[in-house]
Structure 1
Amino acid sequence: MSSAPSCAQVLMRLLRGYQVEKVFGIPGVHTIELYRGLPGSDLQHITPRHEQGAAFMADGYARASGKPGVCFLITGPGLTNAATAMAQAYSDSVPMLVISAVNRREDLGMGRGRLHELPRQSDVSRGFCIWQHSLTEAEQLPEVLARAFQLLSSSRPGPVHIEIPIDLFPAPMPGRLEDYRASPAAQLPAASSAAVATAAEWLQNAERPVILLGGGAQACGRDATQIAEKLAAPVFLSLAAKGIVDERHPLCGGANLSFDCVRERVENADVVLAVATELAETDRNLVRDNYAFKGKVIRVDIDPAQLVCNANPDLAICADAGETLQQLNAALAPGNDSAREAAEQQLAQTVQDCRKEWWGGSEERFPWVEALRKALPDDGILVTDSTQLAYNTNHALPLYSARSHITCTTGYGTLGFALPAAVGAKLSSERDVLALIGDGGLMFTLGELAVAVEQQLALPILVWNNSGYGEIRDFMDGAEVPQEGVNLRTPDFVALAKSFGAEGCRIERPEQLGAAVAEALNRKTPTLIEITAP
């Protein structure tokens, strides 16, 4: 007679049942019994060099694949180390499941000085998770996981944190291991026929319609494009939405919402269709003033709170973006070719006018943006950190497919994101991935280069080396504040990369970038490409 499965074993089986393939984490003394459940589970474990890297990798994995990224963390410092990355994922609505240990049940709240003890650990994560739960009995696990995955797949996503007392990992579970199965995902909500009819009528009769897409519209590219063609409407993208509509399409205005000429076009539209977007200031280049919409606003979002965020709508549709745009596309009549041609010409001029508004230094960096576009495969994924060149690629580098732009330059805006997030993205997809990070940001998470080497990832890592925090340096100069704390001594990045077992090279001209990236994509190890910033 076989022994009863442990809570840890059931956890691993259920994760596989929910289509989890990889988990990111660092084992600790408190999670030994958790890891006893891994062998035979068919889960691949990836070991970062810091728990922040684990959560960044889970973030990149989720954004590239559309599936939740999963982390295993130890009690106390494991969770607090991952907190920054979890907060970034919360800000950008990225599905992430974090399983952490917590002290034994009899020790909770007692202040006995136990190892890794963190009083009220659950309170730490509550502010940057869409749901947090503390397991009190092993038998609760299947229901708790079912709730977690329903939230991750059927509502506005974000991190979910489940903490499990260390005495529960080896606890016996009832029944046989093979009897534990995942619960089916809920069907996503569609819009009411009345709401679709009203939206279709307003849009069909509009003379100057505009479509705004946010990061929650990843599955909407085909329908959004067809709606734009039927309406002769320009489509503008948030930074999280880059590539959802192919930016080569003549009705796609790209991620240019930060420029006045685009803002004027949006504000003067007679009908705006805003889909799965916060309309946040980070998409307006930190312009704090909300849009002064003069026409009607239709907002579509799965989260009712977002329907009134930053702008009140005239029609609020609380439903899945993909389902709603399919319904709306079916309800709209074919458009007028001459109206579409006129809209395309007007949009081309608007996009050209954006360049007149570029901030200082953009023109000298533009050749690097052009070189990067040529070097990146058409279906490649660009992962960017908060660095000067990335602020230009946000707007000036067109992308052609959904889930091709992974960036931390929105929302929370932490540093050190791009390297581990690119590792996670590459581990989730057969698509080529390219990371772009500054010299300052790279030093936050440089250790994760070792993971890329271990996993034999063909990953080009572009390091924009301006010997410091260049953006903040420019802001200080603009504000006439003496430069302090922004000029850094940087290491020999190429030598450092080679010490990890990676390849490395240094380039100084944009025309060198294509060959360097092509060589990197043909290797079975990451390549750090240091760019000497002009």
Structure 2
Amino acid sequence: MRTGGDLVVESLAALGATTVFGEPGQHALGLFDALRRSAVRYVGCRTELSVAFAADGHARATGSVAPFMVSTGPGALGTLAALMESRNASVPVLGISSQIPADGLGGRRKGYLHELPDQAASFRDVVKSVHVVRTAGQIVPALAEAWEIALTAPAGPVWVEIPQDVLLGATDIPAVTELRVAPRPLAPRGELVAAAAELLARAATPVILAGGGVARAGAQAALLELAQELDAPVATTFGAKGAFPWEHPLSLQSWLEDRHLTAFLEDADVLLVVGSGLGELSSNYHTMRPRGRVIQIEADLGKLESNHPGLAIHADARLTLEALAQAVKGAAARSGGAATVRDVLSRVAKRLDAQDLTLERAVLAAVDRALPAAALSFWDMTILAYWAWSAWPRPMESAQGAGGLGYALPAALGAAAATGGPVLAVSGDGGAMYGLAELATLRQHHLDVTWLIVDDGGYGILREYMTDAFGAATGTELVRPDFVALAESFGVPAWRTTPEDLEGDLARALRARGPSVVVLPATLRMFAPTHLTPS
């Protein structure tokens, strides 16, 4: 007997899904039973939060939609923090939840287990779109529409709910073998491209600030071409690692919390911001005050001019940068961009050298050397990740979209399910406590993830913030397990290391196939605050 659950799984396969993440529950059993009859790979996590984080990591690794399945009520609500991260970071995730039987929808309060008066309402402000299915005939078109919306710029998570009885009910709808979706291109208006090109060509000191939208749109080549045509220095936001070559002569890298780079961006007579909303982290905590003209290219309409007025171009980053690169070709005959970049980076380096940060810089450099060139890395909100935002020289993924803990390990396992690994996850001991159960997932599915845990005894960055602000920290010190012994109890090889041995131990763990854990007991510090005083 084919059921509504079969229609779901067949639709996912027809849309291109090869892996689905999930956590079973009573109302969702029709979904999971259908997986048994499918070639779609199932990776089961131990919490719904991890399920959605794993889908996020899988989507970032593949650039396509990653689906997950959970049950009603507590199961569905457990994904909200992860979906908030996916929404803020424009990651295409498809959440599929069961629902109570259809006769209880609409707030009828039948008293079903896990019943909410309006479960969908909990998701409407978090995801791009919510789709509530009520009949088997609605399943396939709802999933196709949701998939297309997830991929349409700006990409993001979508949510589909299907009642328990619809999932379990028999259906004579033909098997789903082919589904076509066509995300709508978000092309720039020609007159806006012309106006932006004229501003950039006439600028004396143009500068580009590239955000995560550049990387998500696959606009790296177009950004490089435009920067070289304009001889314009390029800074990348923390979410845009890999958008511009780190060692390129025009690369200002990512020192966005440094007063020297902030001042340089402010002084540009034309500042081109592409793929960024100039939010808190991208504007040195809203202290940056551009004095020249701002051009903003952004696919998310709500972020256009939300922080600074300027020439607003609502469009895909790649399409717009390609058009601009052609429009300014041969129009600008300036030089000196590389020398300006060397001067700014020299001032940044001198300020860092004046602080006692040898340990922190050595630890980050050791991780960089140990990680294979093509390997992906996922980072929790921990001090070493805050360092990596500014100083890590290659692509990285972190939870800065929403700033929640517990992201790194499940996102890394989701990516490893896509790439085969090796994948690196980096957590502090506080963030690690969120994901310990996923050691079982790594072991069960033999996923090639190495988990680096920096153990400083608590919530290190909050300890710093509170001590600086109040003279003492409260609630930041934690009792932790023996992470090495705990990992080994799951059958996962683990090592305790030192800053001096970190590179070798981490490289050995990454070379070994399958899961592994490396624990570094160390107390790291952030570089000194460098925010400018708002004028």
TM over 0.5: yes
Aligned amino acid, residue 484 of structure 2: V
Note the aligned Cα RMSD (angstroms).
2.0
Task: Pick from 381, 401, 407 the counterpart of residue 398 of structure 2.
Answer: 407
Aligned to 2:117: 119
Task: Pick from 365, 370, 380 the counterpart of residue 365 of structure 2.
Answer: 370
Aligned to 2:253: 254
Aligned amino acid, residue 405 of structure 1: M
Judging changes above 3 Å, is the alpha-carbon distance between structure 1 residues 204 and 479 closer, same or farther for their aligned structure 2 residues? same
Show CA shifts across 1:390-434 (max 9, x none): 1111111211xxxx31101x2421111111111112212255321
Aligned to 1:521: 510
Aligned to 1:348: 342
Aligned amino acid, residue 123 of structure 2: S
Task: Pick from 56, 61, 81 the counterpart of residue 64 of structure 1.
Answer: 61
Aligned to 1:94: 91
Aligned to 1:394: 389
Residue 426 (str. 1) matches residue 416 (str. 2) = yes
Residue 533 (str. 1) matches residue 522 (str. 2) = yes
Q: Distance in 2 between matches of 1:334 and 1:446?
A: 56
Judging changes above 3 Å, is the alpha-carbon distance between structure 1 residues 517 and 482 closer, same or farther for their aligned structure 2 residues? closer
- Kept after mapping to 2: 8 A contact 1:259/1:284: no
Show CA shifts across 1:435-487 (max 9, x none): 11000110011111111122222322111110111111112221234332111
Q: For 1:319-334, what aligned pairs fall within 5 Å after superposition?
A: 319-334=315-330
Query: Which blocks of at least 5 consecutive residues in structure 2 are unaligned?
Result: 524-535
Aligned to 1:212: 209
Aligned amino acid, residue 283 of structure 1: S
Q: CA deviation at 1:193?
A: 2.6
Q: CA deviation at 1:382?
A: 1.9
- Kept after mapping to 2: 8 A contact 1:466/1:532: yes
3-state SS of paired residue (2:123): helix
Aligned to 1:157: 155
Task: Pick from 313, 319, 324 the counterpart of residue 317 of structure 1.
Answer: 313
3-state SS of paired residue (2:454): strand
- Kept after mapping to 2: 8 A contact 1:6/1:170: yes
Aligned to 1:294: 291
Percent identity (aligned): 33
Aligned amino acid, residue 265 of structure 1: F
Show CA shifts across 1:212-239 (max 9, x none): 1111111011110111111111111111
Task: Pick from 366, 376, 383 the counterpart of residue 381 of structure 1.
Answer: 376
Aligned to 2:526: none
Q: Distance in 1 between matches of 2:203 and 2:228?
A: 14
Task: Pick from 129, 136, 139 the counterpart of residue 138 of structure 1.
Answer: 136
- Kept after mapping to 2: 8 A contact 1:379/1:432: no
23-32 vs 434-443, greater mean Cα deviation: 23-32
Q: Distance in 2 between matches of 1:197 and 1:436?
A: 44
Q: CA deviation at 1:268?
A: 1.1
Q: CA deviation at 1:367?
A: 0.7
Aligned amino acid, residue 267 of structure 1: E
- Kept after mapping to 2: 8 A contact 1:229/1:335: no
Aligned amino acid, residue 345 of structure 1: A
Aligned amino acid, residue 485 of structure 1: G
TM-score by length of 2: 0.92
Residue 77 (str. 1) matches residue 74 (str. 2) = yes
Q: CA deviation at 1:39?
A: 2.8
3-state SS of paired residue (2:251): coil
Aligned to 2:533: none
Q: Distance in 1 between matches of 2:472 and 2:329?
A: 59
Q: Distance in 2 between matches of 1:505 and 1:528?
A: 6
Judging changes above 3 Å, is the alpha-carbon distance between structure 1 residues 361 and 281 closer, same or farther for their aligned structure 2 residues? farther
- Kept after mapping to 2: 8 A contact 1:209/1:231: yes
Q: For 1:219-238, what aligned pairs fall within 5 Å after superposition?
A: 219-238=218-237
Q: Distance in 2 between matches of 1:8 and 1:430?
A: 28
